[in-house]
Amino acid sequence: MAENLLETDDSDFETRVLQADKPVLVDFWAPWCGPCKGIGLMVDKLAEIYGDRILFVKCNADDSQQSAARYGIKSIPTLMFFKDGSVFDKISGMTNQAKIEAVLKKILTGGQGAAPFIVQ
């Protein structure tokens, strides 16, 4: 795993994601999920490009059910974008790199996120 791509679980999600000093993209995935592998490759590539300004974190939804439930992860892959400890945007299911990158650019330029409805 790239040095600008971290792993998290229920035990350190709050520290790594919610208390991060820069925006965070969390990739909720599972090893058995085929589409997750495709999204994972895009996340790896984007981490190389934006890793100095955005933290990229992978969270195995099977192993971190508490975090997945807290953010309403009903299907994987799901990408959650956080800024200043709050949800900024969310992409569920297979998507393309351009759509992910558009959200990253919006975070970096101070744009408004979609702020998806999350029951906590």
- Positions marked active-site: 33, 36
Using CA atoms, how far residue 106 sits from 72, 81, 83, 98, in Å, is 23, 11, 11, 12
Q: Which residues on neighbouring strands pair with residue 83, listed in sequence order?
A: 86
Which of 71, 73, 79 is CA-nearest to residue 107? Answer: 79
- What is the rounded CA–CA span in Å between residue 77 and residue 83? 20
Direct distance between the N- and C-terminal alpha carbons of the chain, in angstroms, rounded to an integer: 31
Q: How many residues does the chain have?
A: 120
